[in-house]
Amino acid sequence: MNASQEFPQLFAAVQQLRARSTPEPAALATIVRTSGSTFRRAGARMLVHANGEVTCALAGGCPQRDIVLRAQRAMAERTPALVPYNRESNLDVLMEVGCGGELDVLIEPLVQPDDFQFFDVLARLHDERAPASVATVFSRDGAVHTPRPWRLIRHGAGHWTDIPAPQLARRIHALADGLPAHGGAVLERAEMDGAQMDVLLEAWRPKPALVVVGYSECALALSRLAHGLGWQTTLVEHVAAARGQLEGVGAQLHAAPEALPERLPFDRQTAVVVMTHHYERDLAYVQALAQVPLAYLGVIGSRERAARIHRAVSASATAIHAPAGLDIGSETAQEIALSVAAEIMAAMRARSGARLSRTDGPIHS
């Protein structure tokens, strides 16, 4: 699935289409298979409008212009398509965009009300910050599945599906158990009535949430950067002050250390950075959050202060990143914010944070 920060934009465009008095067709283009180095990974989606405009553009190394033309054709014919871009098919397009990898793109027209149902399920899960697994059955024996893909969305409270074959749905449930905990997408194959069904399995995760504890230029810079990235951001002030609503920092909250775990709904997609620039106060917040399962818990400060915090907190449900951030030579508040945000993203996605020029393997995996 698209990065969860993109989903509100995608869903808002879908809602605008549905709200029009005269229905206007659209098409959803989904990368379902990749090989080699590609700009976006499997699960990335782009909404193509009838006039050729797009929402959540794929861009950069993907044959977007060709996908738009094929999407318009799918709208006119009201028939889905599965388009390979590889060394055997559409080679001229690959050469034109200079793409180093290969990919398959599912294009499904959105015309009937039932075509939009799975968006509503995902929107509810997004609002509830509920993790889920999303399965898309897109081909049968190598040919695109018609009249449209089938989907199964499994979450903590149950599941939603439009798959009419219970045996296939049970098989997909079993396959979803193998999805990596940190997210991502895998391509699987399941048998139904002697046919081989291709299934894209994706881990749906709530969008990242960041809680910044402290009030300083660094705290404001980090809050604004995260808010601009589409993260759910909360700035926590350690002292009550009549500062008014600050622009671009997300929500604001005053909470003492012992009250903070009860004031905010922390989860495994939440990062916390403590930066009050006062050792005892920093330690109090870290100790209050030590047993809360988080995606990331960081503290700004010197190595000496960080060592003292590590010694004072004997056990923590989340590894404490202190000093917080990646070593990029940060000096200004904005550079420090960039360093910390990059480390948070790497931690959330189980990546090393190393330079791409010094690593091997696919960039998107």
Helix (H) or strand (E) holding 66: helix 64-77
| Domains recognised in the chain with CATH numbers | 7-204 (no CATH), 209-348 (3.40.50.720)
Give whole-number Cα distances, 357 to 36, 50, 61, 329, 349, in Å.
Answer: 16, 40, 18, 18, 19
From CA 244, how far away is CA 215, in angstroms rounded?
Answer: 13
Q: What is the pTM of this model?
A: 0.85
pLDDT confidence of residue 58: 84
Going by their DSSP bridges, the two strands 81-85 and 209-213 should be labelled as unpaired
pLDDT, position 78: 95
* Among 73, 1, 66, residue whose Cα is nearest residue 31: 1
The answer to whether the beta carbons of residues 90 and 104 sit under 8 Å apart is no
User: Cβ(58)–Cβ(101) under 8 Å?
Assistant: no
Residues 209 and 232: beta-carbon distance below 8 Å? yes
Rg of the Cα trace of the chain? Answer: 23
Tokens at residue 268, please?
A: 């495994």
Q: pLDDT tens, position by position, for the chain (365 residues)?
A: 556 778 999 999 999 999 887 878 999 999 999 887 777 888 999 999 999 999 999 865 578 889 999 999 999 999 999 999 877 776 566 555 555 678 899 999 998 888 999 999 999 999 999 999 999 999 999 999 999 999 999 998 899 999 999 999 999 999 998 887 666 889 999 999 999 999 999 998 888 999 999 999 999 999 999 999 999 999 998 776 656 678 899 999 999 999 999 999 999 999 999 999 999 999 999 999 999 999 999 999 999 999 999 999 988 999 999 999 999 999 999 999 999 999 999 999 888 888 878 877 666 55
25: left (phi over 0), alpha (psi -120 to 50) or beta: beta
Instruction: Return d(Cα 80, Cα 229) in angstroms, integer.
Output: 33
